[in-house]
Amino acid sequence: MKKFLIFIFLLIAVVVGGYFLSPEYLKTAIKYQTPDIDDYKIFENRTIKAGNYIPWKITNDYNKKEFSKITDEKILAFDPVAFLIVQNGKIKFEKYWQGYNENSLSNSFSMAKSIISLLVGIAIDEGHIKNVDQKIGDFIPEFAVKPNNELTIKDLLTMSSGLNWDEAYSNPFSVTTEAYYGSDLFALIKDLKVIEEPGVLWEYLSGNTQILAFILKKATGMDVSDYASEKLWKPLGAKNDALWCLDKTDGMEKAYCCFNSNVRDFARIGQLVLNGGMFDEVEIISKKYIDEVTKPAINLTGNKGRLVDFYGYQFWIVQYKGYDIPFARGILGQYIFIIPDKNAVVVRLGHKRSDKRTFHSEIPDDVYLYLDAAMEILD
């Protein structure tokens, strides 16, 4: 018995000692365990300031239609907090759960990747970046030498960089976990190396988007949040300020994730894409760039040799009942769907996403659920 107690004591000592010797990011990861839509409360943030508010118009039949009972039950299974439908530029339907409302903040998670893509387009339109074929090494010296010197902005936008970033969400020691909970994003990206020929194979890597953010900062001379405020958030007439989580106080935006806003203001992003770069009769991004954003990168090869018919410039694309629908998505079921054939935008926010891929190897099953739900409401 005595030997057993000594063993237990030593085991506890090893575990406790290991914890205190662990990197700070790992301690933070252990403390919070899993990402959540309210994580802006645990990180440092930079404000994306709103400007002159442009209110949404409301349809005459606002909230007159409801989801069928079976659809509502399916939606509830994924722990939703908000669902919004805009058609013909007017809010047609919205529903909230768990005390959330039109002003409640939610983490975008990887929907932020789509926002970064739009900011890149604006930077190209303004001449800060020559074009999508410009070399990354023009902005980040660490990428001006072999094997990284041929890497282009387009390779990052289309997730075909060939970089050795480990996109592992459940591994506490992965670079993705350290990026989320750590405090030095540049240290994580500066030593990345190209291990596959760029522009050939599609592989979803959050590091690609983070590099784009460093390029934006260098090219524009502005923090990403400030650039987003001036060139996107204010022109979109957002009602509320947004928050972008940082790696540390006055640090760098976690650009691949962590843009925090509300469902109505997120819908403005979708409306901008739906309108070909226009909002409230003002051009914010060129239609030429928007067309590329929403066009599948079919020149690339995906997982298991699949044709990349599902991804453009940091936007996903799903074929649904004859419609081609671009969308932004986050890991816990954050979605902005753009449905040109219905002149509609659909936004869903919540805590869970489907783990199943029944219809497409890269598209979660709940995507089809929310599109089915929207079709019950749309004209």
How high is the pLDDT of residue 26? Answer: 80
Low-confidence stretches of the chain (pLDDT beneath 50): 1-19
* Domains in the chain, number: 1
Output the DSSP codes for 156-168.
HHTT---B-----
How high is the pLDDT of residue 29? Answer: 77
Q: CATH code at 241?
A: 3.40.710.10
Judge whether 271 lies within some domain.
yes
90-96 and 57-58 beta bridge pairing: parallel
How high is the pLDDT of residue 7? Answer: 32
Neighbours of 368 (CB within 10 A): 17
Judge whether 38 lies within some domain.
no
How high is the pLDDT of residue 24? Answer: 86
234 vs 76: CA distance, rounded Å: 34
Judge whether 30 lies within some domain.
no
How high is the pLDDT of residue 229? Answer: 99
Instruction: Give the domain range for residue 98.
Output: 59-377
Judge whether 39 lies within some domain.
no
Judge whether 148 lies within some domain.
yes
Cβ atoms of 148 and 135 within 8 Å: the answer is no
Q: How far is CA 144 from the centre of its chain?
A: 27
Judge whether 152 lies within some domain.
yes
How high is the pLDDT of residue 170? Answer: 77
Judge whether 180 lies within some domain.
yes
Judge whether 37 lies within some domain.
no
In terms of Cα–Cα distance, which of 367, 290, 333, 344 is closest to 84? Answer: 344
Cβ atoms of 260 and 253 within 8 Å: the answer is no
